[in-house]
C-alpha cells in the first residue's frame, strides 16, 4: 500500500534533503529521474543507495520511502534496478509505465506505476493488475506533451477534457485492481488555491493520495484529504445508528445500506479514527 495522502518528491542527488522531506510528508519519493540531470545520474544513484542502507539507523520508516527509477528503455534504468536489489522491500516508482511486463520485471519490489503517456493511460487496467503493482499514478505534464496538447487547464483552472478523462481512467483502473490511486503533481508551486481545489476534487472522487513537488504543498494536500468535522460526526452517527439493525434502514430521512456504512468507516479511517 502506498502511503498518503501527501507524497513528496526529493531529488536523489540531494541527500541533505532526504530526512527533511521524509519528516515533512507521509512518504518521500527519492527521485532518480526528472529531478536529476543526466550527468548526475550515477552520483544520485549512489546517494540513494547510501540513504537506503542507513534507514535502519535513521529516524525514517522504510515503508514510507519510494524510489523513482528512470524509465524502462533509458540508459540508466538497468543500473537503477540493479542498485536497488539489496533493498527488495523498498517501493519503486516506475515512470512512463506503458506495459505490465515492465512492472512485473521490478519484482520483488512493490511498484507504484506512473502512467504519463497516452499508451500508459489506455493500458492502465493491465498495468494495475500486475502482481507487483501496489499503486497507480498519472502524470499530467508528460501526458499533455505526449498528446501534443498546448494547455491542460481551462480558464477556470479545471482540467480540460483530455486530461480529466485520464484522471478518471487511472482512478477506475486502480480501484478495479485494488491498488492505491495517486493524483498527479501541480507544478505551479505558488498557486496553493489551485492545489487545494485539485486536492479536494481528487479526494472527493476517490483518490487516496496526491504527489507534491515542494514541502509547502504538503499541508494543503493533507487538509484537502482530511474529512471535515461535520463529515466525521455524520459517520459516527450513522455507524452508531446501525448497531443492532441488520440490513437496510432509514436514518434521518436517508436510506442506509452496506455501501453507506462502508463509506462512513472509510471517513473515520481517513480522519484517524
- What is the rounded CA–CA span in Å between residue 75 and residue 194? 36
Span 147-161, pLDDT tens digits: 999 999 999 999 999
* Residues 1-42 pLDDT 10s: 567 799 999 999 999 999 999 999 999 999 999 999 999 999
| Residue 237 marked in a binding site | no
Over residues 211-224, the pLDDT tens digits come to 999 999 999 999 99
Cα–Cα distance measured from residue 155 to residue 46, given in angstroms and rounded to the nearest whole number: 44
142 is annotated as contributing to ligand binding: yes
Q: Where do we find the cell 489506455?
A: 122
CA of residue 162 relative to chain centroid, distance: 20
Give per-residue pLDDT as tens, 110-124.
999 999 999 999 999
Provide the Cα torsion 173, 174, 178, 182; round to 10°.
-170
Q: Report long-range pairs for 236-242 (Cβ below 8 Å, ≥24 apart).
A: 236/264, 236/268, 238/264, 239/264, 239/265, 239/268
- How many distinct helices (H) and strands (E) make up the chain? 12, 10
Whole-number pLDDT of residue 272: 73
Residue 116, annotated as binding a ligand: yes
**With 80 as the cut, is the pLDDT of residue 270 above it?**
no
List C-alpha distances in Å: 88 to 12, 41, 56, 190, 197.
Answer: 18, 21, 14, 37, 37
> pTM of the predicted model, to two decimals?
0.90
Residue 151 near residue 196, CB atoms below 8 Å? no
Find where cell 536529476 sits.
36
Domains defined for the chain, CATH in brackets: 6-225 (3.20.20.60), 229-272 (no CATH)
> What confidence score (pLDDT) does residue 104 get?
98
Tens digits of residue pLDDT in 192-238: 999 999 999 999 999 999 999 999 999 999 999 998 778 888 888 88
Query: At residue 95, what are phi and psi to the nearest 5 degrees?
Result: -75, 165
What is the distance between the alpha carbons of residues 185 and 160, in angstroms, rounded to a whole number?
16
The helix or strand, by DSSP H or E, that contains position 49, with its residue range, turns out to be helix 41-53
- Assigned C-alpha cell, 12: 536523489
Q: Is the pLDDT of residue 60 over 70?
A: no
Amino acid at each position: 500500500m502506498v502511503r498518503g495522502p501527501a507524497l513528496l518528491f526529493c531529488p536523489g542527488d540531494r541527500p541533505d534533503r532526504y530526512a527533511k522531506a521524509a519528516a515533512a510528508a507521509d512518504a518521500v519519493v527519492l527521485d532518480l529521474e526528472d529531478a536529476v540531470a543526466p550527468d548526475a545520474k550515477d552520483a544520485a544513484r549512489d546517494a540513494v543507495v547510501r540513504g537506503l542502507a542507513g534507514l535502519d539507523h535513521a529516524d525514517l520508516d522504510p515503508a514510507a520511502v519510494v524510489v523513482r527509477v528512470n524509465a524502462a528503455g533509458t540508459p540508466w534504468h538497468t543500473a537503477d534496478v540493479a542498485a536497488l536489489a539489496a533493498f527488495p522491500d523498498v517501493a519503486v516508482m516506475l515512470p512512463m509505465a506503458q506495459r505490465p511486463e515492465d512492472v512485473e520485471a521490478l519484482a520483488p519490489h512493490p511498484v507504484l506505476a506512473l502512467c504519463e503517456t497516452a499508451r500508459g493511460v489506455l493500458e492502465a487496467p493491465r498495468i494495475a493488475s500486475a502482481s507487483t503493482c501496489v499503486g497507480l499514478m498519472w502524470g499530467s505534464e508528460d501526458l499533455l506533451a505526449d498528446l501534443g496538447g498546448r494547455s491542460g487547464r481551462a480558464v477556470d483552472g479545471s482540467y480540460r477534457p483530455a486530461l480529466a478523462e485520464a484522471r478518471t481512467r487511472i482512478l477506475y483502473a486502480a480501484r478495479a485492481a485494488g491498488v492505491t490511486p495517486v493524483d498527479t503533481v501541480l507544478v505551479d508551486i505558488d498557486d496553493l488555491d489551485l492545489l487545494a481545489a485539485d486536492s479536494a476534487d481528487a479526494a472527493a472522487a476517490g483518490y487516496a493520495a496526491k504527489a507534491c513537488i515542494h514541502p509547502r504543498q504538503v499541508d494543503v494536500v493533507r487538509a484537502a484529504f482530511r474529512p471535515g468535522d461535520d463529515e466525521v460526526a455524520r459517520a459516527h452517527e450513522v455507524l452508531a445508528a446501525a448497531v443492532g439493525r441488520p440490513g437496510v434502514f432509514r436514518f434521518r430521512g436517508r436510506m442506509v445500506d452496506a455501501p453507506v456504512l462502508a463509506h462512513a468507516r472509510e471517513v473515520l479511517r481517513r480522519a484517524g479514527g
